[in-house]
Structure 1
């Protein structure tokens, strides 16, 4: 009986291992690399999920806010306030470049003696009769007007230009001025009832640019004044900064058209319809630094309302002012019934 051939084991009876192929080693290497890549991505995704879960848990109590109309208006208001701050900074830089400082003396480069006061008498195209009455009463004319200027007091009738430039109204004023030499014509101002608030700003601004004085005075042509008493009062107050002399008023805003002192801008005052405490009346006297303040800020910061008998564009919120009674001003009101005390406001 034939027997099957046998193989004799060498080296302790163990079989010799079969060598692995090169392709198997390459596959094993790439498998390890792929496993490490997948494991790293899974670990990174797990960290991201944990971070998102913690953020979600932290903000779970906070619901997203729905923007209302008030919120949007507040955002727009902040943007507008930021724009106004930038404009104010630009105006301040301009003012400093022009040499304006609180309490500064004469204009730089000017060696002339400073005047005591510049008095502007408001007038209109149809007020020639009133002007003649003024020239025959308290207001000097001709050589007497020049002598008064030598004493440091300048008086001028203040008027703007007609809406139709160069018409008979303008020509009549030019002809009268060439004869009397007592007008301050505001070339950039249109003479109209609704433009009276702007006239105040334009007058003070023009006066402070043309004359270097301690005080600037606005007078309506409806009153008569004791000129010597006014000069004495201003001379006694000479050198004071931040001074205002005149009436201060407040009260109800008239919102009904057709009534006396009707205010077309009544809606600006809200539900209460009450004026803030403001400078008012037929006589306004301010010191030089306040006139300079108006000149610098006349385009933006000062408020002027349509009803000129109720308010002027100079109020306590526009300058750092405090209050003190003043009874020494001698004024006789002719056509205007005004109640209220005369007060002087000086800076702290």
Structure 2
């Protein structure tokens, strides 16, 4: 039995050796092909390089080789020289405009101080969405309206009701204010401010920023909508202080500090004034 097994294994080992010996020539042939392709590629690249060099030599001999461009030539070709001149001209125009008193935005240009003086005052009357009746009372009392309001502006005094936008942009509250403003044209709309009782400090910031950006005036005045303003007296007082630098004027209520919400002069921070509330 052992002899038969040995005899049966002998043919299989000889077949395996024959298979291995048959693969070797194939591998060698494949490697030879790769080497041939590599050599052929390098020869082709060398031929292309020689052709390019010979072409450059011919151009140099004939004098047609392009000269090296200077920085000025490169800028001229790119159009940067023309752009640079335009920038310089714009800077000169801007400097000239500033020297003549031009102001950015919609502010009044003081080109001729004799003919176009600064406004005396911009008066902002704080108002709310539910205060239309108060606004109508003001328009019929101390605050001019229509053509009278325009004539007052020509004399240097601008008056506007100041209000922000609703928390729900574009709702009926905003639409009512827009409709009223189209009729009266006496609103200053603070587009970036949300009208709410707790946002009054930010309303003051937006109000003064908007007025300074829109009008060039000597004074910017903030007025509440629960008072009757002596407009003639205010104008007379401001006229006497025209040209003052860094002037701030304000007043506070004197007397008892009200801490009941339902009363007219309620002070939310009444506790800051001490126990006596005065």
Counterpart Cα distance in 1 of 2:181 and 2:249: 29
Shift of 1:246: 1.6
Question: Is there any run of 5+ residues in structure 2 with no aligned partner, and where?
Answer: 1-99, 111-115
Instruction: State the partner residue of 2:203.
Output: 199
- Provide the residue aligned with 1:240 in structure 2: 244
**1:226 matched to 2:230:** yes
**How many Å separate the matches in 2 of 1:177 and 1:257?**
31
Q: 1:137 aligns with which of 137, 141, 147?
A: 141
Partners of 1:153 and 1:255 in 2: CA distance:
36
Q: Which runs of 5+ in 1 are unaligned?
A: 1-104, 267-272, 276-338, 340-348
Aligned residue number for residue 209 of structure 1: 213
Q: Given the superposition, is the C-alpha separation of residues 257 and 239 from structure 1 closer, same or farther in structure 2, using an over 3 Å criterion?
A: closer
On the 8 A contact 1:158/1:183 being kept in 2, the answer is: yes
- Equivalent position of 1:262 in the other structure: 268
Give the aligned partner of residue 155 of structure 2. Answer: 151
Which aligned pairs between 1:1-348 and structure 2 lie closer than 5 A? 108=103, 110-111=109-110, 112-248=116-252, 260-263=266-269, 273=272
1:113 Cα deviation after fit: 2.8
Q: How many matched pairs?
A: 166
**Structure 1 residue 253: deviation in Å?**
9.9
Q: Kindly report the root-mean-square deviation, in angstroms, between the aligned alpha carbons of the 2 structures.
A: 3.2
Q: Distance in 2 between matches of 1:170 and 1:226?
A: 30
Shift of 1:133: 0.3
**TM-score, normalized by length of structure 2?**
0.53
Q: Which structure has greater helix proportion? A: 2
| Contact kept in structure 2, 1:161 and 1:191, CA below 8 Å | yes
Q: Who wins on radius of gyration, i.e. which is larger?
A: 2
SS in 2 for 1:129: helix
Judging by fraction of residues, say which structure has more strand.
1
Q: Tell me how far apart the structure 2 counterparts of residues 205 and 176 of structure 1 sit (CA, whole Å).
A: 24
